[in-house]
Structure 1
Amino acid sequence: MATIIVYIAGIYSLGFAIFHLGFWKIFGWKDELPKLRYVNRAIMQILNTRLTYFLLCCACLCFFFTDELLHTRLGHVVLAGLALFWAGRTAEQFIFFKGYLFNLIFLLGTMLFSIPLFL
């Protein structure tokens, strides 16, 4: 069961990586980002590309290092860290956005990365 949850967490991470790759088109960044100062425009794009990379790394860990995540101390630390990442993202959603549907989506990430620690 824990293995399946980790694979689902990998799909979750991969899905968010793909979603972030679409930010330029989805949010009209070609038209919207030029309204920002140069430094803010650059920061937005760099943060988005680095987050995409991070999410792809998380997916790879889930798909190719499942046993290590589930059966080693380091794996447990990684899973706990990723659960905290998504818990923090959930909290930030309440602060910066009012979309409650997204809160549930980010809470799902917290659950996917923490539940295997208890199985």
Structure 2
Amino acid sequence: MKTVIFICGLYNIAFALFHFGFWKIFRWDNDLKKLSFANRGIMQILNIQISYYFILTAIICFVFPKELMTTKLGNWFLTGSSIFWLIRTVQQFIFLRANHYKIHVLTVIFLAGAILFALPVLS
């Protein structure tokens, strides 16, 4: 299960890198100008904060795999992370209702995150 937790860390690093790329991927330099000052700032702040969360989660997975597997706090952390990805999966169907392969791929990836973080707790 230590390998699974290590993969959970890599998974979160990948999402941090993906989120760091949002400015370029989604052309935020142009598109965010269409939003109000507050909403433009909120979008960028939320993106930076979620990137921080992903990096912190990865570090915890890399540094404390034994504790994550063997303590109540560790199991709660893994369960909470699994639920985070499960909720993110559900949000795909609420906010991104479109029949597009990229959305379907992301849905599968989010569901994989929910499963990855649940595995050590369920084993």
Query: TM bucket by the smaller chain?
Result: over 0.9
Q: Does 1:114 align with 2:113?
A: no
Q: Residue type matched to 1:112 in 2?
A: L
- Aligned partner of residue 94 in structure 1, secondary structure: helix
TM-score, normalised on structure 2? 0.94
Between the aligned partners of 2:21 and 2:105, the Cα distance in structure 1 is 20
What pairs up with 1:1-119 in 2 under 5 angstroms? 2-97=1-96, 98=98, 99-119=103-123
Once the two structures are superposed, residues 68-101 of structure 1 have per-residue CA deviations (whole angstroms, 9 ceiling, x without a partner) of: 1011000000000000000000000111113222
* Runs of 4+ with >6 A deviation: none
Once the two structures are superposed, residues 33-69 of structure 1 have per-residue CA deviations (whole angstroms, 9 ceiling, x without a partner) of: 1110000000000000000000000100110111110
Q: What runs of 5+ residues in structure 1 fail to find an aligned partner?
A: none
Q: What runs of 5+ residues in structure 2 fail to find an aligned partner?
A: none
1:9 is displaced (CA, Å) by 0.5
